[in-house]
Structures are given as structure tokens and as C-alpha cells.
Structure 1
């Protein structure tokens, strides 16, 4: 499902333009200063004031009672499902959702739960499809205990779930006794793109988390929020999974800095993604999915070069991208400038021209008909 070239293969030039993912961001000098100055304590003992204030801040931002600081978003997803579900239960989620496609089967391995995959365009399923997938409770089939959405939908091209769809899914879930979980890895991208607050998008969702190591530019960390009782149980799993930390305020300070300085600027990433998509769409044979946030998915097969070959050729020029679900994915972030977008577009055009010209020169001359 995922193809990316080797980052540091001998003989390849240094990476100058990193479009592989928004996880590739590096903490800025100002963020590092904030980390160095952080007041710290033992996070596992509840004695780190910077972690505590971050959790309180995110809980308020999302409209929840409490929150917990985690090393990663994947741990947020895993711990949340382990609290919501019991072995043998069933989660309903889109078939390309991160917890289905990119977490190594953790939910089955740790929780003994299965996922009922739902389909739909752009990484999203329709509320009515969700309703149709629900079954009457019987002892012959798994209990359906949780529905999960991913905002934004990564493999759906960074698509934004509409607020009306989120509200409809919550209504259906509550009417049928299911808990609700939002993988909010790029929730703030969705908020910036739509102007809708994180609190409004998270309303009705029993658990929701934010990732700080993507477009927000922190080196690591995510915060999972929910009711106080839910977070108490998440802490039990955090301990079991090895997620409890010590002087984690150094990392939480980076997250505070990100909330202070790197949220509104996500609009710049969205603008760069639109510029990249617009430029690619002008190249004959390239099929581009119009971006809603900071991801541009496109295919160069129609232009005469397979996606994997294009990614490899870009890497030879110091530009890093990947193939996901059969399409090239490029991801803009705070370390990608408008000038880098222009250089990437020029490189794609030159690579395609170089690939097509030899084929044209080596093809046999057309035959003339004889009358």
C-alpha cells in the first residue's frame, strides 16, 4: 500500500524538499527554546506542570472533561479502543482509516477486536451506510460497540468530514448504543480549512485526539480527550503499553508552542497544496485529486510514467514523496515553501519529458498507405 524511496541511500543527493509527510517537520529554533525553558516534573506521577496545563488546554479546546498526553497518535487510537471495546467486539470504520490500514493490526493484537470496514469516496462513509451496517444484537455475532472516523481522511486525500455528517453519525451511534471515537490527527487542518471550531467538530464524540507531530511541527506527542472516567481508564492502558513518561514537559512545551504559533499558519500549507495541484493539473496526462487541506494525491501513469518511477526520479533530484494506495502523495507543511512547490512542479515536468522523449524517438515511423 505504501512505497517510499530510501531516504539516505548511498549515491543519492541530500533531501532538499520533503513532501513525504507532515510528520517530517523539524522543531523550529523558537520551539526548541520553549522546550529548553520548560518547567518539568514526573509525568507518570502527575507532577509535570507543563504536561498538566497542556492536557487542560486541549480538553477545553475540544470541549471535554479531561485529557492525557501520549507519545503518539497511534497509541491514542489503540488505548481508546481498548477502553471502549472488549475482546470479540466490533469497530465500524472506513476501510482506509488509519486504525485499519496503518497501525499493524494493533487493535486485534492487543484488544481482540475486529473492524467492520465501511466504504465510500475520499476516506469517508455516508451516515446511511453506517446505519445500514448496524445489526440487531445477538449472541451469534460480535457486539458492535464503537464507530470511528478520521479527520481529516489521510488516504482519502486529506478530505474533510462535513460537520453535518459527523453530527448524523453521532446521532445514529447514540440511538444504537455505540460509543464514538474521532482520530483527530489532522483535526486542526479541518478546522482551519472550514472555519469550524474544534469544539464543534468534536461535539458528541466520546473520545477525540490531536496530533502535534504533523502540521503543528512538534517533534512528538498527541493528546487524547474525553470524559474524566474514560481518561482514567486510558491511563491504565497508557501504563500497560509503556506510554507513561517522566520529564515530558520538554515535549509538552513544544505542543504549547504549536498551539500558540502554528495553527493559523496551516492555511499556508493548504495554499501551497492548492498551488501544487493546480500546477500538476496543467501537465497533460496527470490525474490530480483537488486538495481540501495539505495533501495532494496524483497519478502520473496517464502521462507515461508509473507512480513508483516518478517518486524514484524525484528522489534522485532531492525531492521526497511516496506512493499510497496506488497514487503519489505529497504533503505540504511548515518546512515547505512556495518556492519549493514551484521547483517540484518544474521537476515533475522535466522528468515526464525525459521519460516520454526516448519512447517517441525509439518508436517505429508510421507506415504510409499505398494506393
Structure 2
């Protein structure tokens, strides 16, 4: 048995999801004639109370499109130092949109409205123009932490007062909604654009969706084409997303419970220095100074348990729908044998 906790992207479609994919009605989406993609886009735009949505092959492409919609070359984006758009999108903000990032020193990937205010550049020609504020919920590098929605609203007000765009990288937003008992409509009202992923916690094989109102989304289709993201009979993939939304949302709380259980077990081990607070499905922990992190990862790999070494002596485990109860029991047992 292989226990893969490197990411929640390692899941594979269930038999039922595959059946939904094979039963999908499809067409040519370049002509906007794929009925299943159209259905998915309409469904998600309605969920968030927005006018338009566009299906993408990846969350990175959806985020990069949003940045390009909000900015012009030379502009600046305010985001956290842990932001996915800065750390894990191959420098796309600079390459694709010609923008720089003003990195805030937040807490676990989250910052305050006051920090945003202080980061906005003066209105002088020799400064880059601040054009966009971007946040990530949940925070990946911050250990699956969930934002305080009250702070989001405060940041929204700062954006409104300063005529800044406001984008949410909601790759794992579904986890925050379950944990905080919040709604998609709340987020739709707060943000100008939102990207959501269907291939992480929800278990679809591919796909993210970018949501926004008509004005900001008017050029999104052209930019997706520019980035090479147009698809033909993509409805087979969209069908997986529709199935995931209908069947895999409420079960996310099971992943959260398992993650918290892992955290408690890690804290019992003498070799563990600390475990970051666990709210959702990500467990980030640090080893004692005298414990070799590569040794720890290799010892687990010998037992067919795979996790991520994030560097700086920090390791990560991510629970997901393919991580079963029996796998969970084995992991707990093996942690005590290292």
C-alpha cells in the first residue's frame, strides 16, 4: 500500500466520477459550444453571484490571467511573501504581465488592511503603480490557514478607496468555506476576481475556474488563448468538476479531522520540534535540530509513505480523499517506529 501525502493533487477519479466524465455531452469549446463546460461555468458563476466564469486547465493559468486582467506592464501587485503567485508560478507575474510584487511580511500567509495601506506606492511617475491586491485562502505555504473574513472586508475597502483590483487565489477556498462556515456568495461580493481549483480537495483530475463580473472578464477568453489554454472537447474534464462539486464538498471535513489527528501524533514524538496550527488539510511541522530531515523523509519512503520536504527543516503532509482510514492507522503506527 502506498500512502501519498505529498499533496491533495495526487488523487485519482473515482469510478463514479469516471462514469460522469464518460457520459458528458461535449462540443468544441473554442467555439464556446461545449455544453458541459458551459454548464460548469454557469454553475460556478451562480455560486459566487458573479456574471461570468471561465474554465482553465490549471490554477496557475487562471491566476496569471487574473493578474493580466487587472494590470498593465510596470504595475505592482501587493501580496504576501508566501503567495503562490510569487513562489510557485515560475515568475509568471513578471514574464506574462510585466509586473512586480510588493511582498508583505504577513502571518502564515495572511496580512492586514493596514499593511496594504502602507504598501501602496505614492502617486508619482517614478514609482511603479500599485494596481492589484492578491490574497490566498487557504494559505498553502502558511499551512492551510484560513483568513478572517472581517479582515478581508477591511482590505476590500482599502482597495475600493484606492481603486485597486482585488483577486483571490482560492485554490483551496472550499476548505476555508467548510471550516469557517462561510459562503461562496460572501466571497463573490468581496472580490473582483476569484480562481478556484477543482483538482485539489475536490478530487477532479484537471481544472480551475476564474470568476468575475462581465467588465473585468471581458478579455479573459483572449488571454486564455494567448496562454495556450483553449480546449476543444473539454467537457469530459468539466464533468469531473461538476461531479466533484456535487459529491466531494462536505467530505472535506474528514480530511481536516485526519490532519489534526496527525498533528497531535507528531507532537507526541520527541524528534518533532513544532507543528504549525492545523485548520484544514495541511500539516507543516519542524524537526528537532539534531534530526536529519532527509533521513526522516527517506525512512517514511521506505515504508511507502511519501511526504514533502519544504526546506528549512520544515516538512509537509496533506490529507485528501484518497487517504483512507486504514492508511491513517498505518501512518500513525509508522510515525512511532522511526
Normalised TM-score (structure 2) = 0.97
SS in 1 for 2:53: strand
| Aligned position for 2:334 | 347
| Aligned position for 1:45 | 31
**Structure 1: runs of 5 or more not aligned:** 1-14, 352-371
**Structure 2: runs of 5 or more not aligned:** none
Answer whether contact 1:157 1:289 (CA < 8 A) is retained. Answer: yes
| Aligned position for 2:179 | 193
1:334 aligns with 2:321: yes
Q: C-alpha offsets along residues 265-298 of structure 1, whole Å, 9 cap, x if unaligned? A: 0011001101111111111241111210000001
Structure with greater Cα Rg: 1
Q: CA deviation at 1:325?
A: 4.8
| Aligned position for 1:202 | 188
* CA–CA separation in structure 1 for the residues paired with 2:214 and 2:191: 14
* CA–CA separation in structure 2 for the residues paired with 1:234 and 1:87: 17
SS in 1 for 2:145: coil
Is 255-264 or 126-135 further displaced after alignment?
A: 126-135
SS in 1 for 2:43: helix
Deviant stretches of 4+, over 3 Å:
none
Q: Structure 2 residue aligned with 1:290, among 265, 271, 277?
A: 277
1:275 aligns with 2:261: yes
| Aligned position for 1:226 | 212
Call closer, same or farther: CA 1:199–1:69 in 2, change over 3 Å.
same
| Aligned position for 2:6 | 20
Answer whether contact 1:166 1:201 (CA < 8 A) is retained. Answer: no
SS in 1 for 2:134: strand
1:301 aligns with 2:288: yes
* CA–CA separation in structure 2 for the residues paired with 1:285 and 1:165: 36
Give the count of matched residue pairs: 336
SS in 2 for 1:258: helix
Answer whether contact 1:272 1:337 (CA < 8 A) is retained. Answer: no
How is 1:31-110 mapped onto 2 (pairs within 5 angstroms)? Answer: 31-110=17-96
Q: C-alpha offsets along residues 140-167 of structure 1, whole Å, 9 cap, x if unaligned? A: 1000000000010000000001110111
How is 1:132-147 mapped onto 2 (pairs within 5 angstroms)? Answer: 132-147=118-133
Q: C-alpha offsets along residues 30-84 of structure 1, whole Å, 9 cap, x if unaligned? A: 0000000000000111100100010011001112110000000000010111111
* CA–CA separation in structure 1 for the residues paired with 2:27 and 2:318: 35
Please, what is the CA RMSD of the aligned residues? 1.1
